[in-house]
Structure 1
Amino acid sequence: MTGTQKKTALKAPKGVPDYVPPTSAGFVAVREAITSAARRAGYGHIELPIFEDTALFARGVGESTDVVSKEMYTFSDRGGRSVTLRPEGTAGVMRAVIENGLDRGQLPVKLCYAGPFFRYERPQAGRYRQLQQVGIEAIGIDDPALDAEVIAVADEAFRSLGLTGFRLELTSLGDQTCRPGYRDRLQAFLAGLDLDEATRERARINPLRVLDDKRPEVRAQLADAPLMVDHLSDQSAAHFAEVRSHLDALGVAYEVNPRMVRGLDYYTKTTFEFVHDGLGAQSGIGGGGRYDGLMQQLGGQDLSGIGFGIGVDRTMLALQAEGIDPAAGGRVDVYGVALGAPARAAMVPVLAGFRRAGLRADMAYGDRGIKGAFKAADRSGAAVTLVLGENELASGTVVVKTMATGEQNAVPLDSVVAHVTGLVAR
């Protein structure tokens, strides 16, 4: 390399975002709000592999879906095996439940997961090639009350973050007793339309997917298409009515959207999506549904399940649209300003005491001047700043400054943790 040549700066792959302070605090707050709502409803944590055998997603998600046919990151490993970076969570959860025998224990199996998923699509705001999701699955029991619980967990999570401008859209995609007849009706209807060859092939494999076509010229032809909710079996209709009754009792508002089609093939019966009108055309922030038959399709028992996936990035955009900062309150509770080396040595164990007490604590490290140290304290968002200098060391005290009011008091060093913990808890 010559002296005039410059090293090319390394960058993250296209569509793969970094989450760095201070915005990463919002990311953590959103993820924790969703997982906390799941934990309160009895969902245990499951950690899934980042990649799986490609056949899992081809069989579980559906080869006619855009996810499998266009969007998966699939490659051969060094052993010549075809593996795929996980594009969604449900198929992996079902595989893990079968492999670990969880389906032979107490039912329903209730699981929660969080992490990155991968889809090769055009990156845009809140829709990345490495997307972040939180999901839950309830497996083994077909009970409309369980459907309502899953939906209510998501609703509670959004509301706990302060979101108000979202809507829940709900429908039923029927079961195996009514779907074949509806499929025939829909295919007969689609056969009379002016469709391109690719769309006709999609109609042959999975006609429901055609209803999800976003092109105006296709949507105009679908105005009179038969709808699944008008052809439900008695059992599916009763199931859907009971789900709505439970949601009414829970105070979860919803709109029935008979034209909703989720992007994955495994959905049956209850299907739902949360949308936020502040996000424009790409308004979805999370959704899911019931997937009776998926476990058996993947080699397990014939057990039903229901779950959701919520986009963390999409939820953060919805919060931004409503002017909500999910991480408001600062990155720490207590910030220490130590004036001189002896004071710094005394401050270190004091801050450790705060951390053991469950508070977030930081300090001005290095040879930062007093002006810079106090600026750092302001930027930290701490509720309380501790100031320790020579005079305080001599008297065995520390100055406690309440940042909201500016009030300052000298407090004995040996009792400052208890004193400040009481202030922060108020």
Structure 2
Amino acid sequence: FVLALNWRLGLVTVLPALLLLGLTRVITPWVKARNAASLRSVGGLSAEIQQSLDHFKVIVAFNRRDYFRSRFAEANVANYAATLRAGIANNIFSPVYELFYHLAQISVLAYGLVLISQGSLSIGLLIAFLTYVTRFYDPMRQIAMLWSTFQLALASWERISMLLSLESNLPELPPAPIIAEAPLLVFDQVGFSYPDGPAILNQVSFQLERGKTYAFVGPTGGGKSTTAALMARLYDPSAGQVLLQGRDLRTYPASERAARIGFILQEPFLLSGTVRDNLVYGNLACQALSPTDLATRLASAGLGKLLTRFEQGLETPVSNEGLSLGQKQLLAFMRAVLRNPDLLILDEATANIDTVTEQLLEECLRQLPPATTRVIIAHRLNTIEAADEIFFINGGEITPAGSLDHAVEMLLNQQGQR
């Protein structure tokens, strides 16, 4: 419109806006990068605080509060610098847009006076142009106040979208038929190694039958927990196959695999909430049960006595400091057993539990359905003495150990070689 009134004065009006647009395109990536760096520094500071608080007992026990202070100070200084740079970047648009607005006004006024002196422009039209300049640049000045916030939002979204775009590196193969007469679990020439690491398992083969109890023993770092993780498909083998009921474990959907295999980790993961929230986690059959029905289900599974270990029963709060490590392992055990899996894997599940409670756990294991296969990984020999078969894991090999005495002899020989 201003070009139609007077194209020369119109160009003077629009030219600062064009320069401003080009400058915005140049500055915007820099502002976005500063905000991304600030978000990373805030995340680093939060992680440092969380780590220090989680391990504060160790810090106090070793009298290293000075270490905590120095690490926090270092992260805090880095965060301050990054936040300061982001603040400068975020506040650069408003003064720049304000500058170009006044530059447009001065340019229109100066050139308008020249045109008036030449008789090419009236004073009234100059006043109208100045009004149009204000109306044209006011929305741009308002956008400038929001543009930096928009760049912060984009930087935040990139961090979130990076997580959302992550995909599982455990592909699901096409379904295959289940072989009813096949052993429950088979390792067929399985090999495994962590990225850029030595081989943990070398061409290992064994099978687990239904309804039996198997124990895996071996020195620390021998590959026991890795073998258990392969059974539950937390990893895929580097070579060979893991078969569940005659079917490649990779062909099972995650939901079906989780229903068939119960896994109790060395360090159980629990959700903040209550004991009930954790018991029904991922268990669709129990999520709709009332507290009374859930307690009945626990009693029928032989887990009622374990529930009494929690002061408020199902409503006992669960937090990082609210439960002991032994109680956390108990809760993880109850959660796994309640799913009634075909294969139950206990990876050092009784390491932090007293002898009386361990006997309760053994009683619960005996009440599992006869077809349930149990895999026990433990260093305490009394935990594995009732196993039907014992395997010795070390040096990338899994060897049948026969009796408990033979397993102890193999452990002693291994320690003697060290």
TM tier relative to shorter chain = under 0.3
More helix by share: 2
> Normalization by structure 1: what TM-score?
0.18
> Higher strand share goes to which structure?
1
Relative to the length of structure 2, the TM-score reads: 0.18
- Which of the two has higher C-alpha Rg? 2
